[in-house]
Amino acid sequence: MDHFQSTKSHIKLVLFDLDGTFLNDRKQVLDSSIQALEFLKEKGIRAAFATGRDIELVDDLVIKNFKLDHLIDYVIADNGAKIKDCSSDKAISRYFLQVDQLLKIKDHFKDLKLVYGVGEKGYYFVSGENALTRYTNDVLGLPVKVVDFDSYLTEPKPKFLLFVPSSKQMEKVMDLYQSLDLEGVVGIRSSKNLFEFNHKNVNKARAIADLCDYIGIGEEETMAFGDEMNDLAMLKSAGVSVAMGNASDELKAQADFVTDDNNNHGIAKFIYNYFQ
């Protein structure tokens, strides 16, 4: 409780993961969450999204779609590969994979015959189609385009994805990753069926540090909400960390606080309780 009381007046930036946190299970933004953003704005507290999504998808499917333009100050996209100041549309930082790195990753996993993907410019560009890409397009509502990856990988990209349809194949991916000798690149299993590669500086914790430097505040003056283990670094970096009610027990155990889930006004309940 002392932590609760001593830090609340110092918070200057609140960061929200999107899927499973700020978005409910139907990929919608609750009215209560929008009202919570307006409440923060009135108090002079800035707000940011920190997500694994591509920045154009965040702009089109979340900020513009739910009319949040005046309420979101910054976007950390692709888990930190890109940070944008929404007021000026200025790129604050950018950590991309280079073409030679992308081609080496593609070649290293070619025998597994997986579908590759890159999220950018409002789409997931993929090397082929399978049940996972159809689910991404039809159920998640994230537009997918099939392209020829040999001609597509000609410029740096924010990340490189492997769509992995089974747990057995995921084991093969993780084993094969151990033999990938590629300096400056980090691979991680980001979900049950996705394995992704990023620049070594790409993570939400590094992004918070870069964003705080840009704003001129300390990391202890931030609050972060998340629901998945890939949010852990962000929650550990923030001055106040909040796990959603739908988060794993492991994440809840490492957060300062736990709020209600993403379908039951968890964002609004915590913000009003904390700042009032």
What confidence tens digit (pLDDT) does each residue in 161-189 have? 999 999 999 999 999 999 999 999 999 88
Give residue 57's pLDDT: 86
| 3-state SS string for 139-176 | CCCCCEEECCHHHHCCCCECCEEEECCCHHHHHHHHHH
- Encoded tokens for 245: 């009610």
Q: pLDDT at position 1, please?
A: 34
Listed in sequence order, the residues at least 6 apart from 175 whose beta carbon sits closer than 8 Å to its beta carbon are: none
pLDDT at 220 over 70: yes
pLDDT of residue 2: 38
pLDDT of residue 227: 95
The span from the CA of 123 to the CA of 121, in Å, is: 6
Q: Which two tokens stand for residue 160?
A: 């490189």
What does the pLDDT read at residue 218?
97
Distance CA 149, CA 155 (A): 11
Using the predicted structure, report yes or no on whether residue 5 has a pLDDT greater than 70. Answer: no
For range 99-103, the mean pLDDT = 97
Pinpoint the alpha helices (H) of the chain. 2-7, 31-42, 55-57, 99-108, 131-138, 149-152, 167-177, 204-215, 232-237, 249-254, 266-275
Letter string b/e over residues 51-79, b meaning 16 or more CB atoms within 10 A of that residue's CB:
bbbbbebbbebbbeebebeebbbbbbbbb
The answer to whether residue 7 scores a pLDDT higher than 60 is no
pTM above 0.85, yes or no: no
pLDDT score for 61:
86
Dihedral (CA of 32, 68, 202, 186) sign: positive
Q: Read off the amino acid at residue 50.
A: A
Q: Which of 207, 188, 186 is closest to 198 using CA atoms?
A: 186
Confidence category of residue 8, pLDDT binned at 50, 70, 90: low
Q: What is the pLDDT of residue 153?
A: 96
Q: How far is it, in rounded angstroms, from Cα 18 to Cα 77? A: 10
- Give the per-residue pLDDT at 6: 44
- Give the tens place of pLDDT for each residue, 234-260: 999 999 999 999 999 999 999 999 999
Tens of pLDDT along 10-64?
999 999 999 999 999 999 999 999 999 999 999 999 999 999 888 888 998 899 9
**Predicted confidence (pLDDT) per residue in 105-164, tens digit:** 999 999 999 999 998 888 899 999 999 999 888 887 889 999 999 999 999 999 999 999
Amino acid 199: pLDDT: 94
Q: What confidence score (pLDDT) does residue 43 get?
A: 96
Alpha-carbon distance of 131 to 184, in angstroms, equals 31
Tell which residue, 116, 182, 128, has the closest CA to residue 153.
116
Q: Which of 208, 234, 199, 237 is nearest to 74 (CA)?
A: 208
Asked if 143 and 124 touch (Cβ cutoff 8 Å), the reply is yes
- Sign of CA pseudo-dihedral 118, 141, 85, 204: negative
